[in-house]
Amino acid sequence: MERIAIDMDEVTVNTLPTLLHRFNRDYGYSVTAEDLKGMKLEALHPELHDEIKAYFYEPSFFRHLQVMDGAPEVIAQLARQYEVFITTAAMEFPPSFAAKYEWLKNNLSFLGDMNFVFCGDKSIIHADYLIDDNARHFERFDGKGILYTAPHNVYETAYARVDHWEDIRRYFLT
The catalytic residue positions are 7, 9
The residue among 1, 34, 13 whose CA lies nearest residue 131 is 13
Pairing of strands 66-67, 13-14: antiparallel
Tell me how far apart the alpha carbons of residues 152 and 39 are, in angstroms, rounded to a whole number: 4
Pairing of strands 3-7, 144-148: unpaired
Q: φ and ψ at 14, to 5 degrees? A: -85, 85
Q: φ and ψ at 154, to 5 degrees? A: -60, -25
DSSP state of 132: E
